[in-house]
Amino acid sequence: MSTLIVALPVPPRLSSQGAAGVALAPAEYDHVFSDSAAGARLQAGRAPAALLPAAQQVIAVIPAHGIGWHRVVLPKAPAAELRAALAGVLEDVLLEDDAELHLAPAPQAKAGEPVWVAAVRQAWIPAPLA
């Protein structure tokens, strides 16, 4: 299995006026690529998002202060409607429009139980990784 690990840059901060600054994608991303089919070969480098190696698994490493963590009870909703249900539960605590955020509940989360949900600005995640 091939794995690509990409380090995302520090996210932009909100301006003092409260409006979100324009997030400019960096020209290149630091990354590590591993291909176990090629004998666990590792290669590290820097490349534009469009030129990152293709991999079966992609992991984006986000700086800790670029993630908002929220503890909620996971709503009971079909998988296709879970994102909208999560946005509804988090509506009062999110500082940004939920349509601009990527919401990720903890793996193996079960409906009706407390779970940690990570919130990250979607514009900050490069398109090839989203």
Tens digits of residue pLDDT in 59-92: 989 888 888 899 999 999 998 999 999 999 998 8
HSE (CB half, 13 Å, CA atoms) of 9? 16
HSE (CB half, 13 Å, CA atoms) of 124? 23
Q: With a cut of 50, say whether residue 18 has pLDDT above it.
A: no
* Residue 18 and residue 41 in contact, taking contact as beta carbons nearer than 8 Å: no
* Residue 6 and residue 129 in contact, taking contact as beta carbons nearer than 8 Å: yes
**Whole-prediction pTM:** 0.68
The Cα 93–Cα 87 span in angstroms is 10
